Amino acid sequence: MTITISHLLVVSIVLLASGLYCVITRKNAVALLMGIELILNAANLNLVAFSRFVTGDIDGQVFALFGILLAAAETVVALAIVLQVFRAFDTVDVDRTDKLRG
Amino acid sequence: MKVPLLSAMVFWAFAILAMASAVFVAFSRNIVHAAFALLGCFFGVAGLYLFLSADFVGIIQVMVYVGGVLILFLFAVMLTGKIRNPEKSNPSRAIPGGLVTMLVTLGLFGYLAFTTPWQVLPTVPTGPTTSQIGDALLGPYILPFEVASVLLLAALLGGVLLAGGVRGRSRLTGNEQDEAPRDSGGNT
């Protein structure tokens, strides 16, 4: 069998669905960020797959590189914020961090 | 006929690694296991990049995600966990809504992926891409490239300031004695 773009899209759909489930159901803020990483990986995989199978040029891969970069920057800041939330609330449960002024 | 079979086997190996790890991240009750499953997912996606002859993106994926992001996640899990009972360290809520969203996403996008008539190329390009990416980054994408470097600097400073905490800031400014950050002594 030859691998077509639909097979690649199936992988990225599974990654997207798992990430969405993670973001919706998790209470731990770190696990929630893991779901966001899954969604970003699905988007990057789509970009690279379309750049190979549909357009045939390099633009999709450059966009995927920028996506990886943005994901790394987002993770750094988000995890630093989670660390501060843990210092302030002694928990990272997103259901219990509901006070603006403690 | 042997080469397509081999390539399909390579594809499915990486695809199943990525998909199984992603589902494990979504459903695991142990957050340390979820963090390590994320490693498998990142490696699977990197293998798929290599399969798509996007060699540079694949290497960058391994370096940035596995070498950087995943280490950060593991540090965050260890620092914020207070993991007394690892089996229950990753609680969930609203499971029915999450499952419905997951199944609707899978069904709808899966239907679209297989029924849309994609305008695919007759022959797919292969070969190394690093020099083309370098040309693109210093040619038409020079402005996003430079903005990205400023963004990385901002993220670096923001991460240091936020994670450094109150004590580090008062030492920098020499202002009034701020409250020292609470030591999380209970995470042994």
Domains of chain A: 5-89 (1.10.287.3510)
pLDDT of residue B178: 46
Please name the residue that has the structure tokens 């589902």: B23
- As a whole number of Å, the CA-based R_g of chain B is 22
Contacts of A80 (CB under 8 A, 6+ apart): B158, B159, B162, B163
HEC per residue, A33-73 = HHHHHHHHHHHHHHHHHHHHHHHCCCHHHHHHHHHHHHHHH
* Backbone torsions φ then ψ of A28, nearest 5 degrees: -80, 125
Lowest mean pLDDT of A6-10, A79-83, B80-84, name the range: B80-84
Residue A68: closest C-alpha in chain B:
B61
Question: How high is the mean pLDDT of chain B?
Answer: 82
Q: Which residues on A lie below 8 Å from B118 (Cβ)?
A: 4-6, 53-54
pTM: 0.85
Q: What angle do CA A73, B157, B151 make, to 5 degrees?
A: 45
One-letter amino acid for residue A30 of the chain: V
Q: Which of A48, A46, A43 is nearest to B124 (CA)?
A: A48
Q: Hey, of A6, A23, A34, which one would you mutate to test binding to chain B, going by the most B CBs within 10 A of its CB? A: A34
CB A31 within 8 A of CB B33: no
Grade residue B85 by pLDDT with cuts at 50, 70 and 90.
Answer: low
**Tens digit of pLDDT for each residue in A6-64?**
889 999 999 999 999 999 998 888 889 999 999 999 999 999 999 988 888 888 999 99
Instruction: State the nearest Cα–Cα gap between B175 and chain A, in angstroms.
Output: 20
Please name the residue that has the structure tokens 């995890």: A79
The ipTM value here is 0.90
Residue B185: closest C-alpha in chain A:
A90
Cβ separation A87–B31 shorter than 8 A: no
Residue A50: closest C-alpha in chain B:
B120
B39: pLDDT strictly greater than 90: yes
Instruction: State the nearest Cα–Cα gap between B172 and chain A, in angstroms.
Output: 18
**Measured between alpha carbons, how far is residue A97 from residues A85, B84, B134 in Å?**
8, 20, 44
Residue B28: DSSP 8-state: -
- Rounded to 10°, the helix A29-50/A59-89 angle is 180
Q: Which of A48, A24, A47 is nearest to A36 (CA)?
A: A24
Task: Point out the residue among A34, A71, A86 whose CB comes nearest to the CB of B80.
Answer: A86
Q: Which of B33, B113, B101 is nearest to A28 (CA)?
A: B33
Mean pLDDT of B34-53: 92
Q: What angle do CA B34, B11, B115 make, to 5 degrees?
A: 95
Cβ separation B25–A38 shorter than 8 A: yes
Residue B43: closest C-alpha in chain A:
A41
Task: Point out the residue among B76, B125, B181 whose CB comes nearest to the CB of A87.
Answer: B181
